[in-house]
Amino acid sequence: MQFQPTEEEAFAELHVARRELLEVLDSLDPADWDKATLCRGWRVRDVVSHLASAPDLKVHKLASAILRAKGNVDKAIDTAARRLGDRPVDEILDHFRANADSVSLPPNSDAVQLLTDVVIHSLDICYPNGWEVEVPADRIRIVLSKLVTLNGPFRGKERADGLHFDTTDIDWRCGCGDAVRGPSRMMLLALAGRPVCDQLSGDGVTELASR
């Protein structure tokens, strides 16, 4: 079951998702910005800096960063997020707010892929810290459908291969094979490689957790 918005619809949803995360971020105490997230090794401030900087990423910047990381794309992304995350919180927030309605895209990306990044990272920030963030059913269906087609950095396509996914709170299912069932948010996080498979059920959970 696939959900494919137009580019205009995807950008509109992306802008709303960014603004809804901003509402959460505006309510945080200073100490909250140093709390851990589901992104291993990244603080709240690192994840937000990563999201804020995505529209600014151009081909020459990405190439330079990857070159400095000796060809390791994940390392380049990690280094940039940590460096930008060390800025003052007000500067990080201003950066994210300034780009909330941007239609600029990183290299080799599209609006739905950027929406996927924002939704997953919003949950990375909020779920482990007990903060609530809006993720409407239509939005999470779009993101789940995109995630199972993506390779790096989330490797959703690889994790989904040979399994059947069926969400229990919204109308979305995908794939063939051993079943994985559970709430859509936990399904999304598990497909992105986050350690939440204990929140899912079905014969395919053990295989999913191992990927």
User: What's the Cα-to-Cα distance from 195 to each of 32, 91, 92, 105, rounded to whole Å?
Assistant: 21, 31, 27, 29
Q: State the architecture of 7-135 in CATH terms.
A: Up-down Bundle (1.20)
For all residues of the chain together, what is the average pLDDT?
Answer: 94
- Please report, for the chain, the start and end positions of each structural domain, with discontinuous segments joined by +: 7-135, 148-210
What pLDDT, in 10s, does the model give residues 11-66? 999 999 999 999 999 999 999 999 999 999 999 999 999 999 999 987 556 667 67
CA 9/CA 30 separation, integer angstroms:
34
pTM reported for the whole predicted model: 0.94
Indicate the residue type of 149: T
Residue 140, Ramachandran bin (φ over 0: left; ψ between -120 and 50: alpha; else beta)? alpha
108-112's contacts with Cβ under 8 Å and 24+ in sequence apart are: 110/7, 110/10, 111/7, 111/10, 111/11, 111/14, 112/4, 112/5, 112/10, 112/142, 112/143, 112/146
Distance between CA atoms of 47 and 169, rounded to whole angstroms?
27
Q: Where do we find the tokens 């079951």?
A: 1
| Residue 190 main-chain phi, psi, to 5 deg | -65, -40
Q: CA-to-CA distance for 157 and 138, rounded, in angstroms?
A: 20
Classify 11 as helix, strand or coil.
Answer: helix
> Alpha carbon of 166 to those of 118, 160, 163: distances in Å?
22, 12, 10
pLDDT in tens, 151-164: 988 999 999 999 99
